[in-house]
Chains A and B, each alone.
Chain A
Amino acid sequence: MSRRTLHAAAALLLGVLALARPLVAQSPEVPNMQPPNRTFLFFEVLEFAPAGVESPVRYDFSGWHGGDVNRVWFKADGEQGTTAEGGGEAELQLAYGRLIHPFWDAQLGVRVDAHYGEGETNTRVALAVGLQGLAPYWFELEPTLYLDQGGIVSAGLTAAYELLLTQRLVVEPRLESFASLKAVPEFGIGRGLNDVELGLRARYEFRREFAPYVGVVWARRVGGTADLAHAAGEPVRELSFVAGVRLWR
């Protein structure tokens, strides 16, 4: 898959979701016999790091269409260089989610993982099984297991927490981490724990749906992943200041 087609596919998916009219229910006479489906579009991260990193544009999008219990999820998580030859990476995921517990959604889907740039593109496809929800003490967690086309099992975890400084000023620490049972050198992935990314973002909710933020993100590759990065001349750790906006509708 070329970088161009990948981008086209991503744009198309995002476009379809964005255009899907939010099904604002004009409820019928009595309460909805069949509650209407809704569409949720959410850029949790949409940011730019002005200096010092390889791929200064980052995004973490998730969205769903459906009801209270059954939903179709689409997620896009990636980063993108801004120079002429700048590459990037993207994880696109399409999943079915079902509410299995008051606070937990179980999700089953497919992830396409792509690294692109400098004329070459690597993609891999994986089955994804995960949970998404709210753990006790208000931790938002999203653990996911992946089984890729080569039979390699990997895992990812996203965790976030919200601290209200005021009713509109919210500080959000966020952790992202990946691990793999086997090395995947084409993707710069070593065996074991791959990386840890810690973010601290302070947003101001002008509206709930629109909250610009500034933050600091610290990322570290570890173990075999760090060795691979080192060999490729890529940084093992990065510290970046970011500015962005959190959006949903």
Chain B
Amino acid sequence: MVTKEQLSLDELEAMRRALSRRDFVRTAGALGLLAGMEALLPAYARPQRSASLGRPALAEPLRHGAREIDLRIAETAIRVGRRRDMATTINGTVPGPLLRFREGEEVTIRVANALREDTSIHWHGLIVPPEMDGVPGVSFPGIHPGETFTYRFPIRQYGTYWYHSHSAFQEQLGHYGPLIIDPRDGYPYPFDREYVVMLADWTFEDPARVLDRLKKDSGYYNYQRRTVGDLVRDIRQQGWGAALRDRLEWGRMRMDPTDISDITGATYTYLVNGLAPDANWTGLFRPGERVLLRFINAAAATYFDVRIPGLEMSVVQVSGQFVQPVVTDEFRIAIAETYDVVVHPTEDRAYTLFAEAMDRSGYARGTLAPREGMSAAIPPRRERPLLSMADMGMDHGGMGGMPMNGMDHGAAGHGAAAAPAAAPAATAGAHAGHAATAAPSAAAVPAGHAGHGAGAVAAAMTASAPGALLTGQDGYRYAIAGISRTRGLRPPGTLPGMLEHEPDTHGPGNAAVPMMVQSRLQEPGVGLGGDGWRVLVYSDLHALTPRAEFRAPDREIELHLTGNMERYMWSIDGVPFGDAEPIHLTYGERLRLTMVNDTMMNHPMHLHGMWMELENGRGELIPRVHTVNVKPAERLSLLIDVDAPGRWAFHCHILYHMDVGMFRVVEVSEPGAAEVAR
């Protein structure tokens, strides 16, 4: 069966062969591949023509109605900034085409592989059957060169998501695209116009080479380390005592407070919809319109801090799920997260859309403007932040400077080791010291009524475990459930307490453990919060509507995120993926997954196949997420309805961390298996 489609695939293949990474610059121009940058951007990513102002929706997505979609993965020459490089593209562009569906549809997507190596597509955040999830070696065999794989699945959710390769380093090479699902019942907030803002990082180096360098010199890309000059300045400003004490604390731990991002602007060009800062992606608006911006962080290794100076942003969707609108001036988007915000520009002027890399080594930039060709001032980059003692778990002073009442440190910590190592914990793949279990009934405290987490407060008050309340800056009293893990599981939706780290240091694959681990959901994170404007924090988030059912967890698993920067080793519980057993979950159970970040870096953790409910103290209104950022020395917990049998991936979404082993397979038993076991 020779179709036109296949012929063009063959042509592409021939072209690709002709263009090695080395000589494409010479030949590509002649082939007309580099005719224009815009030709290499998908329609929605191109700067909008004035003519399109009359049309509020996104330009030409592959959208509903197109029930069958063909995607072709190939190597294509693209231009990034002033340089050219080969990218792994979807239908010839970076990012790939916008896929737009409607909740309730059944979709068919054929993916043809015109690469020399295997490829795959994972639908990030979509709840799909395991064989459609697109993780080679976990849930399907991958798509071999020359093959076409047909994905077919029902769309059972709404929201802003994305899709990307789960093979090799293809994601770093441009193999990603946005995916929007319009809700069946419409949007609960008005908007006149919408844009996808897909943030990414591009390197002209071979990603395998990047990893090789990090393995040999983990500070390879960090050109913001502390120098002798910084010491002199600190001595002048803080005095000898404070400056030296600080240096000695970090030196004793052999940790670098400037180690914010492994890979930096030293090699990365940061992109908005495939465009470098100078190319200035522009989204047009008419003053007075409400503009919905769908932010997707498709970077391989970059967190972005996003703001639009002059405009406040109303955050309406996180991880593709509606939240009660939160007005903010800046938000941090972890790798693989998705945030929808509505802005309401009323003036006839341009606004800079500024996405600064978390380590301040560069930025992605675009513009919102009433007309083409306009731009606004680019804000000065802030000084690179430093990690703090709190990131080492050494801040005994309290949580982000908030007053704390009734925290009983004495009850914390080592009691957990004395807890009976119950059977379910042992099968959970967590080591015994990290798993705490209790009879479900012990935690089955009614969660009370909805409304800004009041239920959680009530629950904490009535919980059998010692509770504590914490007053935040917004005057909201966070519910902190009991700190002792021997008394059973705390009520659902509450924040985890502060604990001393157990004696286990996780072996040579983990450089250090924090002394104290605690919830940091109310903190904006390293380098944020000191600018005099509002910054979104996880504890701000409330789901739009309370859940119909909000069960207490049956069981808790605790996983520690571990790493050794000296050898660029990343793992979970000190064990890299290659040496690890799958995590076994039981179909039908409600799991509390507690994650403790023992490292000094932020990790965006992503679970495939099932939603995670982030226990941010908001009771029944805790938000659902597909990806959650875990800060250094943070202890956070998620509730998971284990409702998807099969094998699923669970991993850090920093591509290089995942590759070296911060990854687990989660195996959910088949329905009925649990009943038989019981």
| Chain B 225-247 per-residue mask, 1 if CB under 8 angstroms from chain A, else 0 | 11111000000000000000000
| Least Cβ–Cβ distance between B397 and chain A, in angstroms | 24
A38 proximal to B (CB < 8 A): yes
Instruction: Looking at the assembled complex, report how far the CB atom of A66 sits from the nearest CB atom of chain B, in whole angstroms.
Output: 11
Interface residue A238 (Cβ < 8 Å from any Cβ of B) = no
Q: A35 contacts B227, CB within 8 Å?
A: no
- With beta carbons under 8 angstroms apart, the residue of B135, B226, B254, B649 that contacts A103 is B254
> Given A99-B508, A164-B225, do A31 and B660 touch, yes or no (CB 8 Å)?
yes
- CB of B227 within 8 A of CB of A24, answer no
By beta carbon, the residue of chain A nearest B220 is: A208
Using Cβ atoms and an 8 Å threshold, which residues of chain B touch A102?
508-512, 564, 566
Please name the residue on chain B nearest to A167 by beta carbon.
B223
In angstroms, how far is the closest chain B Cβ from the Cβ of A151? 33
Residue B314 interfacial (CB < 8 Å): no
Within the assembled complex, what's the spacing in Å between the Cα atoms of A34 and B229? 43
A123-177 contacts to B, CB under 8 A, are 134, 136-138, 163-168
Check A164–B578 contact: CB distance below 8 A. Answer: no
Interchain CB contact under 8 A, A40 and B216: yes
* Chain A: minimal CB distance from B520 (Å): 24
For B512, the chain A residues whose CB sits under 8 A away are 102
Contact B578 A26 (CB under 8 A): no
Residue B211 CB within 8 A of the other chain: yes
Tell which of B169, B226, B566 touches A134, judged by Cβ atoms closer than 8 Å: B566
Q: Which chain B residues numbered 522 to 577 have a C-beta less than 8 Å away from chain A? A: 564, 566-567, 569, 576-577
Closest to B570 in A: A31
Q: Encode contact with A along B460-503: 1 for CB under 8 Å, 0 otherwise.
A: 00000000000000000000000000000000000000000000
The answer to whether A32 and B168 touch across the interface, beta carbons within 8 angstroms, is no
A28 within 8 A of B: yes
| Contact flags A1-33 to B (C-beta < 8 A → 1, else 0) | 000000000000000000000101111111111
Q: Tell me the minimal C-beta distance from A187 to chain B in angstroms.
A: 34
Q: How large is the interface on B (under 10, 10 to 19, 20 to 34, 35 or more residues)?
A: 35 or more
Q: Which of B136-144, B154-162, B186-194, B295-303 contacts A (4 or more CB under 8 A)?
A: B136-144
Contacts of B226 in A (CB 8 A): 164
Contact B208 A137 (CB under 8 A): no
Q: Which of A29, A34, A163 contacts B118 (CB 8 A)?
A: A29
Bound Cα distance from A112 to B566, whole angstroms: 30
Does B251 contact A136, Cβ atoms closer than 8 Å? yes
CB-CB under 8 A from A99, the residues of chain B are: 508, 567
Given contacts A26-B208, A31-B577, contact A164 B168 (CB under 8 A): no
Q: When the two chains form their complex, are residues B567 and A24 in contact, meaning their CB atoms are under 8 A apart?
A: no
B137 touches A22 (CB 8 A): no
User: Does chain B have a CB within 8 A of A181?
Assistant: no
Report if B39 contacts A (CB, 8 A): no
Q: How far is the CA of A215 from the CA of B332 in the complex (A)?
A: 45
Least CB separation from B649: chain A residue = A30
Chain B residues within 8 Å of A168, by CB: 223
> With an 8 A cutoff between CB atoms, is A53 at the interface?
no
Measured CA separation A138–B254 after assembly (Å): 6
**Once the chains are docked, how many angstroms separate the CA of A93 from the CA of B212?**
25
- Judge if A68 is at the interface, Cβ distance under 8 Å: yes
Do A103 and B168 touch across chains, with their CB atoms under 8 A apart? Answer: no
Q: Are B578 and A32 in contact (CB under 8 A)?
A: yes
A101 and B211 alpha carbons, distance in the complex (Å): 22
A32 close to B659 (CB less than 8 A): yes
Given contacts A166-B227, A167-B224, A248-B216, contact A27 B208 (CB under 8 A): yes
Among all A-B residue pairs, the 6 with the closest Cβ atoms = A29-B136, A137-B251, A30-B137, A164-B227, A102-B511, A29-B137
B residues apposed to A, CB below 8 Å: 117-118, 120, 135-138, 142, 166-169, 206, 208-209, 211-213, 215-217, 220, 223-229, 248, 251-254, 508-512, 564, 566-567, 569, 576-578, 649, 651, 658-663
Given contacts A35-B576, A166-B227, 11 further A-B contacts (CB under 8 A): A24-B209, A25-B659, A26-B117, A28-B136, A30-B138, A102-B508, A103-B566, A136-B252, A137-B248, A163-B228, A248-B217
